[in-house]
Amino acid sequence: MLVAGSYATYMLASRGMDPLLAGLVLMPVFFVIGLGLYQFYYLTFERRGSDQGLRGIAFFFGIAFIVQVGLILAFGVDQRMVEAPYIGSSYEFGEWLNSIRIPNRMLVAFGVALALTVTLTLYLGHTFTGRAIKAVAQDEGALRLMGASSVAIKRWAFGIATATCALAGALLITIGPVDPNLYQLYIGRTFCVVVLAGLGSMSGTIVAGLILGVAESIVLSTAGTAWAPAVAFGILLAVLGVRPAGLFGR
């Protein structure tokens, strides 16, 4: 859904809309799509028996492959990119000879991602539905005893996650070109950030993302690009062996 959000942003941006505005416009659409996907998963898989974890992985990996093939058929395998005033320019500071330049697209993406993380943290921590989303991941049975529908809460949570993918996809195509196979580069990184931060820790994802980014940059500059994909899996295995709950997990 992340790459699908990037391509949907590309379609709107090609008609003159700003990529970030396109991401915001697409969030309600992706939210509804997420509700429908989870409802389909619940009716066809989850309601029929146990092994929800294995069934869920198989189902959503299947969805990922379907989206990938659909994007290839619709757009081909060529990379796509967008244009905006903050793409291609940079912010420069420091002395003239030793100045440091940071691309504005990176600053914009970081700022939007930080704002999105803060918003989700406040939502999950200060609203009934947000607390219920956390509760359903910890003890689904106890949530039912409180009179809340676990299915409705999980459906709502999946809708929020899918809507977030729309804005994240807009940020992704803002910082660089995308292609239908790009999601494969982020699977290991996603697992690494989630495990490193700890389940349920929104603020921890920022720190985990920074740790992973700095680690990959160090490996890129010292060992070469061939070793960069191994960084995420190396950190993932190390954290699982030392602290399975993550750095910020309880």
pLDDT, one tens digit per residue, over 45-88 is 777 765 666 777 788 888 888 888 999 998 888 888 898 888 88
The CA distance from 90 to 38, in Å, is 41
Least confident of 6-10, 93-97, 161-165, 183-187: 93-97
Residue 38 and residue 48: Cα distance in Å, rounded? 14
Structure token digits, residue 50: 């146990």
Q: Higher model confidence: residue 103 or residue 250?
A: 103
- 107 vs 139, residue with greater confidence: 107
For residue 80, the 8-state DSSP code is B
Q: How many CB atoms lie within 10 A of CB 126?
A: 9
pLDDT higher than threshold 80 for residue 182: yes
**Using DSSP, how many helices (H) and how many strands (E) does the chain show?**
10, 2
In the chain, what's the furthest Cα-to-Cα distance?
A: 66
Question: What mean pLDDT is predicted for residues 8-17?
Answer: 91
Residue 249's pLDDT band, with cuts at 50, 70 and 90, is low
Of 171, 229, 127, 190, which Cα lies nearest the Cα of 18? 171
Average pLDDT, the chain: 84
**The predicted structure's pLDDT at residue 52:** 62
| Integer CA distances (angstroms), 118 to 102, 114, 239, 245, in order | 23, 6, 25, 22
Q: How many CA atoms lie within 13 A of 30 on its CB side?
A: 28
Q: Does residue 99 carry a pLDDT above 80?
A: no
Residue 8 phi/psi, 5-degree rounding, is: -65, -40
Q: What is the pLDDT of residues 190-214, one digit of tens each?
A: 878 888 887 777 778 888 888 888 8
Of residues 238 and 155, the one with the higher pLDDT is 155
The tens digit of pLDDT for each residue in 133-170 reads 888 877 777 777 777 788 889 899 999 999 999 999 99
222 within 8 A of 242, measured Cβ to Cβ: no
**Per-residue pLDDT for 250 more than 70?**
no
Q: Which residues of 186-211 are buried (b: 16+ CB within 10 A; e: fewer)?
A: eebbeebbbbbbbebbbebbbebbeb
d(CA 225, CA 188): 16
Tell me, what's the pLDDT at 49?
65
Residue among 170, 180, 183, 158 at smallest CA distance from 8: 170
90-93 and 100-103 strand pairing: antiparallel
Q: Closest by alpha carbon to 191, among 157, 134, 233? A: 233
Q: pLDDT grade, residue 124 (50/70/90)?
A: confident
